[in-house]
Structure 1
Amino acid sequence: MFDLPVKEAELADLEKKSEDSSLWDDPQAGQKLMKKLADLRDEVQSWRSLEKRIHDSLELAELMDESLRPDLEKELEALEPELARREINIQLSGPYDRGNALLAIHAGAGGDDSQDWAAMLERMYLRWCERRGFETEILDVSEGEEVGIKSVTIAVNGKYAYGYLHPEKGVHRLVRLSPFDSAHRRHTSFAMVEVLPQANEEGDIQINPDELRIDIYRSSSAGGQNVQKNATAVRITHLPTGLVVSCQNERSQMQNRENAMRVLRARLLQMRHAEQEKELAELRGDYTKAEWGSQIRSYVLHPYQLVKDHRTEHEMGNTQAVLDGEIDSFIEAFLRHKTV
């Protein structure tokens, strides 16, 4: 899945192309090549640097000098998690794994409990992104009638954002004593998590403006001073597919329109890949439709404390830590499980 000499040969080829005097005749192509060159150069240099650290550690170990043991042990403690991280990164070899993502959370049936659960998931993922150093931007949010949220769409920007987030796609189930039930009975709530790659405006998806219907309306909110008096919310309908996206989080109509187009491109990209995957699966004869209700993970807060992923059987008893954003072990378990 990873061949450093091949990467170095590719880097040399890109460096040669970057010296071509005609490179900037097409500014878009030139910019794309230079970005690819910078990313590949950074990747190759980081692997060669790691290789040198390992080589130096082996040389220290061969000296059999007890006075060097503390330094060697310290370096090995630093190398171990770095190697584990790179092992995961190598598995993220899909066409969009290294890019940005759109994360959407939708409350399921169940009223206040499900809307509160959707808000808890939003907090969990925002905290996880903060830990990872990913930048986040809330593109659109629909507040719950009393508590929580009905839905939210978040742009997650950073290297490998889509690769790390895509295992979270699916139905998430919460079991707890409901704070909204006067009898304090146990309730089960569901929320759907969507993860989409952010499409490249220059090439991934081409949208004909004539195939769009754009409606402008007033933003809705829970009330009070936050209600917009001007029509700034944007709803875009893609006529050929019937896809509808809306954004109302920004005060600027132009910004809402740009955000809605980002979401539309991502959904069209997802639709295109879903159609391709369906055709391939039908040729193999094992196409299975993914349907609501087949939860990927359960978060049980009562009568015991446990978070369990049903795809990998990976589980964690510290539910509060998971809800505070410590979900790396679930993501990594899924990525490793996928390659078994």
Structure 2
Amino acid sequence: MELRSTTLASWAGAIAESLRDHGLDPAAVFTEAGLDIKQTLDPDARFLVSDMTRLWKVCVKATNEPSFGLSVPAFRSATTFHAMGMAVDACGTLHESLKRLVKLSRLVSNVADMRLEQQANGDWSLIWSIEPDIRALIADEALDAFLHSFVSRLNEEDLAEVHFVRQLPEDLAPYRKAFYGRPMHFEAKDDRVVIHKEAMDKVRQTSNPALASAGESVALDYLQKLERDNVVLHVENEIRHRLQSGEPKQQDIADALHLSVRQLQRKLAANDTSFAQLLQEIRHQLAKEYLADSTRSIVDISLSLGFSDQSNFSAAFRRWEGVSPTEFRQ
């Protein structure tokens, strides 16, 4: 089976830095894997996942380190994950951050569908969902790196356990260190991180609503170009860009996407959503972010969300949160 999915080349840049830290020439390793290391400097460049799998294997051989994937997240920079990094890190709570991560995750790699599920005990699972026949073609080191990259941004007490599709490694010590000594389950049905429910609504010190919103806009622009057939992303992007000029009209967005309104409605229904639902979700999300910025007036926020006046915004916000915008801000 041919694997045509792609991964951001800048993520491979973190691999190059880890190789350099191991005392190796990253350019030589990339050349052996058939990749041009110069591409890691292009923020929009992407490598095939099949090529990345080959790179991971060459790296393990060059370093003689089976747990090499765990070393890579330490060399991630603020721009490694394009604008998604800023959009996710600047969220107000971990729950908001995870929802945005799921929404934008295909920017980093479109080989997996990431989803967030709450368990029966109230804890939450962040799952990298990959078809088994596809997962078998992907380097275990890649998932080691992705899971550790996420966990390294959690507080130690927030992590409950970790699941790996990979087989049990011979040396567990690097994994115990990387995942805070929490329970680990190998040969699992999927790769997942389980987070304690108490962690989800903690206010994050890195919260910056303006940066989170700006990062998401840039990330959605990139994703829209990457996934031209994803109508939900197109509609969300159009809504966000048009809100400043008033409430977006379904007809205008259908025209922008070269669809009839009926075609647009059918495509959104096929994705279990609608234009009205997307408009409400985006307004709700942005409203909470804007209200966290105490320098912005309620009137200004109302206009930025496409409402004709403050009273209409206040009524809508009360439906969403059960309190007025002013009460929510306090």
* TM-score normalised per structure 1: 0.22
* TM-score normalised per structure 2: 0.22
Structure index of larger Rg: 1
Richer in helix (by share): 2
